[in-house]
A and B are shown apart, each in its own frame.
Chain A
Amino acid sequence: MSADTETIDRFVAQEYKWGFYTDIEADTLPPGLDEDVVRHISAKKNEPEWLLEWRLKAFRLWQTMEEPHWPQVKYDPIDYQAVSYYSAPGAKDKDRPKSLDEVDPKLLETYEKLGVPLHERARLAGVAVDAVFDSVSVGTTHKEELAKHGVIFCSFSEAVQEYPELIKKYLGSVVPYTDNFFATLNSAVFSDGSFVYIPKGVRCPLELSTYFRINAAETGQFERTLIIADEGSHVSYLEGCTAPMRDENQLHAAVVELVALGDAEIKYSTVQNWYPGDEDGNGGIYNFVTKRGICKGARSKICWTQVETGSAITWKYPSVILRGDDSVGEFYSVALANLAQQADTGTKMIHLGKNTRSTVISKGISAGKGQNSYRGLVQMGKNATNARNYTQCDSLLIGSRCGAHTFPYIEVKNPSAQVEHEATTSKIGEDQIFYCNARGIETQDAVNMIVNGFCKEVFRELPMEFAMEAQALMDVSLEGSVG
């Protein structure tokens, strides 16, 4: 056995430490998708008629749509009838827990094991967490403290019941149900997710965070997140995700909508660590996600930061529509494709207002047999006078079996707009590794050091608590990437 295969074997044998399964009674719909399933999900959540109608419109449209195949990724056809579209922990006839005190201890244990303790004593200080387990939210921490500031942070299902007027006004306002194949599917069958509303002028006192966990087999997770930052408000939100190790692929098709009104700022960070599958491409999550924010008011700002280390396939383009004059969009991304992972990710910056500015910093790392593509659109509308974009797109290759690709699209309809694009590709060289070795540093540590240096610009955009975690995660995800 060559040293190379040996290290990979070791990687597969021991890594992905989030790959455990929680054996818990669940209320799971049988696989398959038809109108009854959509109605069933809506009924489970006791939704108003208009929302059911919205879902059904989406479902009917979806049936006429074709799965997109333009991304630079390859996979076997997905059998949408083989997927279960709803799975909630707990017995069928039992009411959902009303507070964290009523939550099944097994669930609390699961989150504890994942490093996200929910119960009062051990909660993460300074961070409020909404924990989503398969199709439902199991609980949200720090709710009372947030309420004092008028901040709403709850599960999407709860928001539908408690704040229907906000949901009705904003649901689908950034990502309409007609948007694309996966967003339309999500609109039909979405089950839960997080809802955030920050009132006028409020600076949210805590970091808000949602932890997504896929547990049940043969289910898809279709969550929906909606964040509204009212005028002059400020919020920082972080999502994390993990799933058990399984041989079959699982589908995750989420939609995230962000709305920033005048002078508001939303910072949305993702540490995505879904199970990536093995080195032959068996198993892992298909992460087909639509994320978009709108800078609706003048001087508003939306910043996406993502660290994508997991998933077998990532298809994701967190975007910003810069409608308000002087609004700002930012996208900072680190995407890793190791093993047999494939990532096609980037952003869209749609400049509509005057003096709008956007920055795109994308760092793609390819290792193993990974394939990593950056795909980005910068669009300067005809009214986007003096709009500016700066894009920097760097690729780092480790080993000789991986690939990096860049697909930048630039459309400029206003002559005063400025667009800059810089791209580099580099390879971790044998000479760099040897130089580190000759200074006492082991090869794996050398690779981690070089990769972390490469990602630094993005990591420093993460909330402090998570920057360290992201770095550690990157180290673990790269283990065995060099022979």
Chain B
Amino acid sequence: MLEIKNLKAGVEGREILKGINLSINAGEVHAIMGPNGSGKSTLAQVLAGREAFEVAEGSVMYKGQDLLELAPEVRVREGLFLAFQYPVEIPGVNTTYFLRAAVNAVREHHGEAALNAVDFLKLMREKIELLQLDEALLKRSVNEGFSGGEKKRAEILQMALLDPTMAVLDETDSGLDIDALKVVAHGVNELKRADNAQLIITHYQRLLDYIVPDFVHVLSDGRIVKSGGKELALELEEKGYDWITNGELQTA
């Protein structure tokens, strides 16, 4: 589904990703772990198409298309969704209105009729129930005045509404208490199907107590330095990142 080959990218001439190789198939959950500054968020932003990040080399194929050629809004319409580490506040824009615009942009892209307000509300209520969210959030402006936990839950609601085939979650667990973490993880697990895939980017292992990955990759200094099964996350938790990064230095 997603095939990243030798991806090198950076910002303002500074190389951050130094040759990433990663292959994700339908039905899989991958976790990328790594210390601060290893390039985790850069990878997420490059996949979503943020202009500030320049791709110097490599390729990203998504469902047989060159992802890097697609505009950010086309990527999400094609099913590649990014849950932001820092969701952005948009004062004055009602959340429900915003969500409907997003859902209809995706629907129209696939030649489906736009949902009217009533049908959309129905769909939204369904997803809210699934994610155990507070409906009152939807009457407020997009992310404005939301707590950290509310913002992250709202991201998962957006993910549920847009129903992506490839979801990238960028440190969705950061800033969450354990209850909020459980709600978010529950939502993500509910959305998992055989025909979609998830890429979970996280610093800590604890999210992986609730979302069990099929593969774990360790990112360090812009490269994937180790890949393994879910037990790798536990090992990392126990030994810390130094174990990997030092080990790599020794072999280099």
Give A residues with C-beta under 8 Å from B.
426, 429-432, 434-443, 445, 449-450, 452-454, 456
Shortest B152–chain A CB gap in Å is 14
Q: Which of A440, A442, A453 is the most central at the interface, judged by chain B CB atoms within 10 Å of its CB?
A: A440
Interface 9-mer from B24-32, B72-80, B209-217: B72-80
Q: Which of B51, B90, B101, B102 is the most central at the interface, judged by chain A CB atoms within 10 Å of its CB?
A: B90
Q: Does B219 interact with chain A (Cβ within 8 Å)?
A: no
23 pairs across A/B with beta carbons < 8 Å? A429-B88, A430-B52, A431-B88, A432-B88, A432-B89, A435-B87, A435-B90, A436-B90, A437-B49, A437-B72, A438-B48, A439-B98, A439-B158, A439-B162, A440-B73, A440-B76, A440-B106, A440-B109, A441-B73, A452-B92, A454-B91, A454-B92, A456-B92
The 9 closest A-B pairs by CB, nearest first: A453-B92, A440-B105, A437-B72, A439-B102, A435-B88, A453-B93, A437-B73, A440-B76, A440-B106
Shortest A368–chain B CB gap in Å is 21
Contact of B90 among A430, A437, A440, A453 (CB under 8 A): A453
Dominant SS at the A interface?
helix
Chain A: which residue is nearest B83 at the CB level?
A438
Q: Does B94 interact with chain A (Cβ within 8 Å)?
A: yes
Inter-chain contact B88/A450, CB cutoff 8 Å: no
Q: Interface residue tally of chain B, by bracket?
A: 20 to 34
Q: Which residues of A contact B121 (CB under 8 A)?
A: none
Interface contact tally, CB-CB below 8 A: 76
Q: Which residues of A contact B87 (CB under 8 A)?
A: 435
Q: Which residues of B contact A441 (CB under 8 A)?
A: 73, 101-102, 105
Chain B: which residue is nearest A434 at the CB level?
B50
> What 1/0 flags go to B60-87 for Cβ under 8 Å of A?
0000000000011101110001101001
Chain A: which residue is nearest B81 at the CB level?
A438
Known: A437-B49, A439-B162. A453 touches B101 (CB 8 A): no
Q: Which residues of B contact A434 (CB under 8 A)?
A: 48, 50-51, 72, 88
Inter-chain contact A438/B93, CB cutoff 8 Å: no
Q: Does B141 interact with chain A (Cβ within 8 Å)?
A: yes
Contact of B84 among A430, A438, A440, A452 (CB under 8 A): A438
Q: Which residues of B contact A442 (CB under 8 A)?
A: 73, 105
Inter-chain contact B91/A438, CB cutoff 8 Å: no
Inter-chain contact B92/A440, CB cutoff 8 Å: no
Q: Which residues of A contact B94 (CB under 8 A)?
A: 453
Known: A434-B50, A450-B93, A453-B94. A440 touches B102 (CB 8 A): yes
Name 20 extra pairs, CB < 8 A, besides A430-B52, A440-B162, A449-B98. A429-B88, A431-B88, A434-B48, A437-B71, A438-B48, A438-B82, A438-B84, A439-B102, A439-B105, A439-B162, A440-B73, A440-B102, A440-B105, A441-B105, A445-B101, A452-B93, A453-B92, A453-B93, A453-B94, A454-B91
Q: Which residues of A contact B102 (CB under 8 A)?
A: 439-441
Interchain CA distance A456-B94 in the complex, whole Å: 10
Interchain CA distance A439-B72 in the complex, whole Å: 9
Interchain CA distance A441-B52 in the complex, whole Å: 18
Shortest B141–chain A CB gap in Å is 7
Inter-chain contact A438/B72, CB cutoff 8 Å: yes
Inter-chain contact A449/B82, CB cutoff 8 Å: no
> What 1/0 flags go to B205-232 for Cβ under 8 Å of A?
0000000000000000000000000000
Chain B: which residue is nearest A442 at the CB level?
B73
Shortest B171–chain A CB gap in Å is 15
Q: Which residues of B contact A435 (CB under 8 A)?
A: 84, 87-88, 90
Known: A438-B72, A440-B76, A440-B162. A449 touches B101 (CB 8 A): yes
